[in-house]
Amino acid sequence: MSELIRPILESDLASLIQIEQQAHSHPWPVNQFSRRLNCERHLHASLEIGGQLAGYYVASQIADQAELLNIAVSPEHQGKAYGARLLKHLIAQLDPSIQEIFLEVRASNGSAIGLYEKLGFHQLGCRPNYYPCQKNGREDALLYALTLNVS
């Protein structure tokens, strides 16, 4: 099946929101995506498999740092290394001056944590009770970073 990683288009938003809602317990609203599509400091890409949107990422870059803001792969395509492909694509698209990529991840998201650590991210710290949970609870955010371009 053919694969293509390309910039997110406005016409992708309906499919993107569907994946977002399937992949995240507290999904971004559509305006969070549309605000970032036309901002020069944001990077974004979608993954198409067989002509269907299957995943995406949104990131920002400021000065010598980047931050992964959102990444998701549709449930039927999870566990097939598509998340790793998207992250490697992001790293390849970064400005050469970027020295570190940061991200936050729910402490309960073991599959994402495993992916990040496999790609060389290391845990920097924890934000206690950062994320809302389904039943009015809170969940810790783990902070991760990947160092690039070490001089």
**Residue 34: per-residue pLDDT:** 85
Averaged confidence pLDDT in the chain: 92
**Residue 32: per-residue pLDDT:** 87
The answer, yes or no, to whether residue 15 has pLDDT greater than 80, is: yes
- Residues forming the active site: 104, 116
Residue 120 banded pLDDT, cuts 50, 70, 90: very high
Looking at the structure of the chain, the number of domains it has is: 1
The pTM for the full model equals 0.91
**Which string of b and e fits 68-80 if b means at least 16 CB within 10 Å?**
bbbbbbbeebbee
Tens of pLDDT, residues 31-84: 888 888 888 889 999 999 999 999 999 999 999 999 999 999 999 999 999 999
**Residue 25: per-residue pLDDT:** 83
Token pair of 105 as six digits: 């991840």
* Domain with 95 in it: 3-147
CATH number at residue 133: 3.40.630.30
Q: What's the CA gap between 102 and 60, in Å, rounded?
A: 10
**In the predicted model, what is the mean pLDDT of residues 118-146?**
91
Lookup result for tokens 């010598």: 64
Q: What's the CA gap between 45 and 16, in Å, rounded?
A: 11
**Residue 150: per-residue pLDDT:** 63
**Residue 133: per-residue pLDDT:** 83
Q: How far is CA 82 from CA 12, 23, 77, in A?
A: 18, 14, 7
DSSP codes of every residue in 77-139: GTTSSHHHHHHHHHHHHS-TT--EEEEEEETT-HHHHHHHHHTT-EEEEEEEEEEE-TTS-EE
Nearest-5° angle of CA 11, CA 86, CA 4? 55
**Residue 37: per-residue pLDDT:** 86
Residue 127 banded pLDDT, cuts 50, 70, 90: very high
Using a pLDDT cut of 70, give the percent of the chain over it: 99
Q: What's the CA gap between 59 and 40, in Å, rounded?
A: 11
For the chain, how far is it from start to end, CA to CA, in angstroms? Answer: 40
